[in-house]
Amino acid sequence: VADVAATIEQLLGADAVFRGDPRPYLSDETETRNLVGTCDAVVRPDSPAAVATLVAWAYEHDVPIVARGGGTGYAGGAVPRGGIVVSLERLDRIRSFDPLVWRMHVDAGVTTERVRRTARESGLYFPPDPGAGEQSHIGGNIATNAGGPHAFKYGTTGAWVTGLEAVVPPGEIVRFGGPIRKDVASYDLRSLLVGSEGTLAIVTGAWLRLVPAPEASQSIVAFYANAAAGVEAIETVLGSGLLVAALEYVDAGALAAAPPPFAPGQGEAFAVLVDVDGSAAEVEQLRLAVLEVLADNARVLHAPDGASEQAAVWRWREGMTAGVTALRGGKVSEDIVVPLDRLREAIERTVEIGEAHGLPACSWGHAGDGNLHSTFMIDRTDGLDVERAERAAEALFALAVELGGSISGEHGTGLVKSGHLEQFLPGRGAELHRSVKSIFDPKNLLNPGKKQ
């Protein structure tokens, strides 16, 4: 097609094609490892029907299409390599909100935080809390099955999606599930789309379920001398049968880059962060039980009072990514998962892999889910550093598989983790994965090169 943008303008109207600087549409958080894409046009459809028209046109003319939400991904899933970027940002309506039956129906381009805030204003709770909620879209969260700290108690995004509206090649709007809480009438094609990173269909809308907001919550931060002592505390929380809402950790290398206010003191090299929620009485009971467990070998315990102090705990936790990036200017960060009883090994071996590749390494993440954000810090301007980090990441994926885990818990595989399918899903498993792709997208035009 000679002039993609002009052709699409004719098809969808002039305001559907973005004519400004395309650069904000070409990268995501993997820019910290120098990943920037290219595209032929940035299109911003204003309705599911417009998305369907666009997919039909692209399918007819063999033009790749890369769906894009808020661009906060960590795997390059939304980094295009030519073709059309379809930004869902104009699909930003809350289609309906029925607080009395704990339900919301939204466009794919509504931000995560807007869903959470709207729910909260009616006493309800949408639990998924990936970072960057003000920027990330619900559609993007669905595309990666995004997690976050509270996924430990509440599950990842998919657990809160009861239905999807999606455009499936060669250009039809299909609905899987809906405003219902159970459905086993067909194969679970809804779950198949969750986490598929825009490679099977383009999600345009979602039915979400909500729960009553917990009456109270309380955060606790504990510092330990080393990973061994910290992980032991984490295991004791679980082994004591304490159903906390979030159970996070920060290792020594990440602590060194942590923003205020919780700086590690002398001899403190590992932090455990716990959130408990529920009724006020339950929170008080859980808080005391957790404090007792954490205190055992802790060097320092913080149990901040009041909402603003507790918000500070989570800002501190969320600041980890920026802090670690700032250390050397760039980073290669993955999100491997291991069985809970291999957490300590995975934390320690992340650092060893860094050492073996000549790179400072650290990790933090969702301890209760065995989900590590294992990170190699790099100088982005140093090509050798970037290469080293890519090799270190390969070693990390091998470690995850060796420990019986997964190469991705919540970021997806995108561009940066593609090519490992056979490693964790050998033989017929990988074949089935590829066959699923080919029945949804026989021409391989939806986000090609990703999730494979």
The footprint of its own copies on residues 418-447 (CB under 8 A) is: 420-421, 424-425, 427-430, 432-433, 435-437, 439-440
Pairing of strands 270-278, 216-224: antiparallel
Residue among 327, 310, 350 nearest 258 (CA): 327
* Candidate ranges 23-31, 111-119, 205-213, 300-308; the one touching its own copies (CB under 8 A): 205-213
Q: Does 198 bind its own copies (CB under 8 A)?
A: no
Minimum separation from the CB atom of position 397 to its own copies (A): 9
Q: In whole angstroms, give the CA distance from residue 94 to residue 220.
A: 35
Contact map string, positions 59 to 98, toward its own copies, x by CB under 8 A: ---------------------------------------x
Q: Does 155 bind its own copies (CB under 8 A)?
A: yes
Nearest CB to its own copies, comparing residues 267 and 404 = 404
Q: Which of 3, 121, 292, 341 binds its own copies (CB under 8 A)?
A: 341
Neighbours of 390 (CB within 10 A): 15
Helices (H) and strands (E) in the chain, counts: 15, 18
Q: In whole angstroms, give the CA distance from residue 32 to residue 326.
A: 10
List the interface residues with its own copies, window 385-424 (CB under 8 A). Answer: 404-413, 417, 420-421, 424
What tokens appear for 282 in the block?
């339950």
Neighbours of 352 (CB within 10 A): 12
Q: Does 196 bind its own copies (CB under 8 A)?
A: yes
List the interface residues with its own copies, window 91-130 (CB under 8 A). Answer: 98-103, 123-124
Q: In angstroms, how far is CA 149 from the centroid of its own chain?
A: 11
Minimum separation from the CB atom of position 127 to its own copies (A): 12
Number of residues that this document lists for the chain: 452
Nearest CB to its own copies, comparing residues 249 and 262 = 249
Task: Name the β-bridge partners of 224.
Answer: 270
Q: Does 310 bind its own copies (CB under 8 A)?
A: no
Q: Does 203 bind its own copies (CB under 8 A)?
A: no
List the interface residues with its own copies, window 253-292 (CB under 8 A). Answer: 278-279, 281-282, 285-286
Q: Does 204 bind its own copies (CB under 8 A)?
A: no
Q: In whole angstroms, give the CA distance from residue 447 to residue 438.
A: 13
Nearest CB to its own copies, comparing residues 388 and 417 = 417
Q: Which of 3, 60, 188, 379 binds its own copies (CB under 8 A)?
A: 188
DSSP letter string, 40-87:
SEEE--SSHHHHHHHHHHHHHHT--EEEESSS--SSSTT--BSSEEEE
Q: Which of 2, 20, 21, 182 binds its own copies (CB under 8 A)?
A: 182
Q: Does 131 bind its own copies (CB under 8 A)?
A: no
Residue among 60, 73, 64, 72 nearest 43 (CA): 64
List the interface residues with its own copies, window 353-392 (CB under 8 A). Answer: 366, 368-371
